[in-house]
Amino acid sequence: MSRRARPLDIRSLRALSPMLILAPHQDDETLGCGGLIASACALGLRPRVAFLTNGAASHPGSRAWPAGRLARTRRREAIAALAVLGVPSGDALFMDWPDAAPFGPEDPGFEEGVSGLGRWASSFDPRSLWATWRGEAHCDHLAAARVAAALAPRLPSVVIRMEYLVWGWNEEGLADESVPLWSLECASTVAVRRRALACHRTQTTGLIADAPAAFRIPPELAALTRRPVEVFLEAA
């Protein structure tokens, strides 16, 4: 899997900074690239993180936790998780797209979202842009990849675009040998990543008990925070 990947060493991370990381939901930042974020913060590189959706569709049907309350709570959870990883709240952006119903490229909301993200990014001039892998079978994850692809050519500097895996860690995301891979040794960040994931209590515990279709991060997905290596795909 990662044997053909080129290493992301300290020099590489510095060259890729400032980094802009786009997460579809509040928790994907930790599951998909928490090691990257924590490692960059430890080096003083100040990565910024943008969240695409408001996360309000994870527990449909809950009467105690309507969409507004859940969205506000998930924002607080994300801020707490980022603080554990080393990112201050001022370096996070919440785009508040509707969860599980993202704007498509033909929708006015898509252009508004890309433009707003570009204005925010112009204040720190990112050299790399990280989003979920375009092959992930979730509409919000695909939307994040599309937003990143639309944003990259509008940024003032030439950026390297990277994709990280959340639901794609069944190896299929790494199967195409024509796609360049990069790997980050991040075993030292495992404890930090696990603490960050625990901040997402609405997604990791039975906090919301009255939702007939409640989502909880499955054990195999939570186990991503214990990976000693994170692997990224370099987008064309």
pTM of the model: 0.97
Report the distance separating Cα 17 and Cα 127, nearest Å.
Answer: 5
Look up residue 127 and give its two tokens. Answer: 């050299």
pLDDT digits (tens, 9 = 90+) for 19-74: 999 999 999 999 999 999 999 999 999 999 999 999 999 999 999 999 999 999 99
- Which pLDDT tens digit goes with each residue over 179-231? 999 999 999 999 999 999 999 999 999 999 999 999 999 999 999 999 999 99
Helical packing angle, 190-198 and 28-42, nearest 10°: 140
C-alpha angle 116/122/126, rounded to 5°?
A: 115
- Token readout for 103 is 């704007």
Domain ranges in the chain are 2-234
51, 214 in Cβ contact below 8 A? no
190, two tokens = 């495992």
Residue among 183, 160, 158 at smallest CA distance from 36: 183
pLDDT at 197: 98
Domain 2-234 - what CATH class?
alpha beta
